[in-house]
Amino acid sequence: MSATDGISPVNYTTTESGHNDGVYHTHTQGNGYNISAEYGLSKRLGIGISLTRDVYEIPGANYVDPGEENYYKYNMTDIDFFSPSHSDIKSTANQYTVEASYHYLMAKKWDLSAYAGAGLATVAITGVTSMKQNYDYHAIGGVAKVGSKVRYCITKRVGVSWTLSAFALDASPEAGKCNYGSAVNEGSAFTTKISGFSTELGLTVRFF
């Protein structure tokens, strides 16, 4: 079992259905953590489950300059309506995956493996717009990832783990779960795609 913390430089894209110019794209970095567990099927092969959570900051909408990119249509922070600047939106992405691993190098202290996984992804934003109205965005979809893990054993049971992975997720809003003020589905036209890399460092514990 491993618990790691790290960063994720990604391409973050939202697409508004029905609008040819409604595609907004930025490069940003997520900060988050991963918890994973693996069961050995043989000396080289293993299967496991993983939970990853990352928080990304993306540009908020600007009411003073309507032409500015606004990834989810509304500014998600409670700022001055007449302010010429925008504030960032905090978007939380969760990944729930099943992963298959192959341990290609195993030594007394070192364990190097490659893995591939797929599963469920969610994206959520909850906040207050600059018009002082509540806004909730919840999207659900899928994620695929590949990567490599390096483990170094400090003791027989405890070690250090480093992971480098590439992933891509695509999430669409859940029906009836995108609310702006009293209006339902105001932001439901926006799908979210996140793709990039993740690097994490943490601790690993072996139980058997």
Domain contains 86: yes
Helix, strand, or coil here: 194? strand
Range of the domain at 151: 2-106+135-205
Residue 176 pLDDT level (bands cut at 50, 70, 90):
very low
Domain contains 159: yes
Domain contains 118: no
CB contact at 8 A, 98 and 119: yes
Tens of pLDDT along 50-100?
999 999 987 654 444 444 446 676 555 444 444 444 456 788 999 999 999
Tens of pLDDT along 112-163?
999 999 999 999 987 666 566 667 788 999 999 999 999 999 998 999 999 9
Beta strands in 17-109 (DSSP E): 23-40, 45-59, 88-106
Q: Supply the pLDDT for residue 150.
A: 96
Domain contains 125: no
Domain contains 112: no
CA distance 198 to 196: 7
Tens of pLDDT along 155-174?
989 999 999 999 999 998 86
* 167 closest CA partner among 54, 90, 72, 58: 54
What's the domain count of the chain?
A: 1
Cα 204 to chain centroid, rounded = 22
CA distance 131 to 77: 9
CA 49 to each of CA 3, 4, 116, 140: distance values in angstroms, whole numbers, following the listed order: 12, 14, 11, 19
pTM of the prediction? 0.83
Domain contains 177: yes
Domain contains 9: yes
Domain contains 120: no
CA distance 114 to 45: 10
Structure tokens at 105: 């190098």
